[in-house]
């Protein structure tokens, strides 16, 4: 899957290209900043490769080279943030509403250290979080909206567009540019010994 992100900061925007490849528990993520800030002497795209080879997590970047990370793949094995898998115990269903053309439950929860969700719109068909509103300790809102579903293998959907707003202003937009399934990815893509 290839996702392109636009990050908004004041009057500036930064483009980032995310490529994620998975095969079973093996994961490779490549991130490239498309228009990096050149004021610090950087004069080209900045790339980072993160890999879970089934045993260890690895990262490769221009500053550190290849580094073995902790975690044993837990970061890569966690469910995608778009889906409601394990709701907090203090969740209450407030009702139903159509959000972005999807029939949703509206669920409210009191934030805890493990969950900061305050109100979530859950798609009744796919259990996808269509909209999440949360507030931090200073009562600053964050809104995440997942829209424009792509249907994969006729029975699974993913959002092709995610918009994140901080204090009601756009902070980031993620758009899936390409999605390919069952591409027969070679072992070498997930081999830490073959990382640059």
pLDDT computed for residue 21 by the predictor: 84
pLDDT computed for residue 103 by the predictor: 95
pLDDT computed for residue 141 by the predictor: 87
| DSSP assignment of 11-56 | TEEEEEEEEEEEETTEEEEEEEESS--GGGS--S-EEEEEEE-SS-
* All residues at 6 or more sequence positions from 96 whose CB lies less than 8 Å from its CB, including other chains: 103, 104, 105, 106, 124
pLDDT computed for residue 37 by the predictor: 56
Domains of the chain: which residue ranges? 2-194
pLDDT computed for residue 109 by the predictor: 82
Q: What is the mean pLDDT of each run of 10 residues along the chain (196 residues)?
A: 70 80 84 65 74 84 82 48 66 93 90 69 89 83 88 76 88 83 82 83
Displacement of CA 41 from its chain's centroid (Å) = 29
To the nearest 5 percent, what fractions of the chain are helix, strand and coil?
5, 55, 35
CATH topology of domain 2-194: outer membrane lipoprotein receptor (LolB), chain A (2.50.20)
């Amino acid at each position: 899957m290839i996702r392109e992100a636009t990050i908004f900061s004041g009057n500036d925007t930064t483009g980032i290209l995310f490529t994620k490849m998975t095969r079973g528990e093996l994961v490779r993520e490549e991130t490239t900043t498309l228009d990096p800030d050149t004021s610090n002497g950087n004069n080209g795209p900045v790339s980072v490769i993160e890999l879970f080879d089934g045993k260890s997590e690895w990262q490769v970047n221009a500053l550190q080279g290849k580094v073995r990370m902790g975690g044993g793949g837990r970061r890569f094995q966690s469910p995608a943030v778009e889906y409601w898998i394990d709701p907090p115990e203090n969740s209450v269903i407030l009702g139903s509403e159509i959000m972005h053309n999807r029939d949703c439950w509206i669920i409210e929860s009191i934030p805890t250290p493990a969950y900061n969700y305050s109100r979530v719109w859950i798609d009744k068909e796919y259990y996808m979080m269509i909209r999440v509103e949360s507030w931090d300790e200073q009562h600053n809102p964050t809104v995440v909206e997942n829209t424009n579903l792509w249907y994969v293998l006729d029975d699974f959907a993913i959002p092709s567009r995610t918009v994140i707003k901080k204090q009601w202003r756009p902070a980031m937009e993620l758009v899936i540019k390409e999605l390919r399934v069952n591409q027969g990815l070679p072992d070498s893509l997930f081999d830490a010994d073959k990382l640059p």
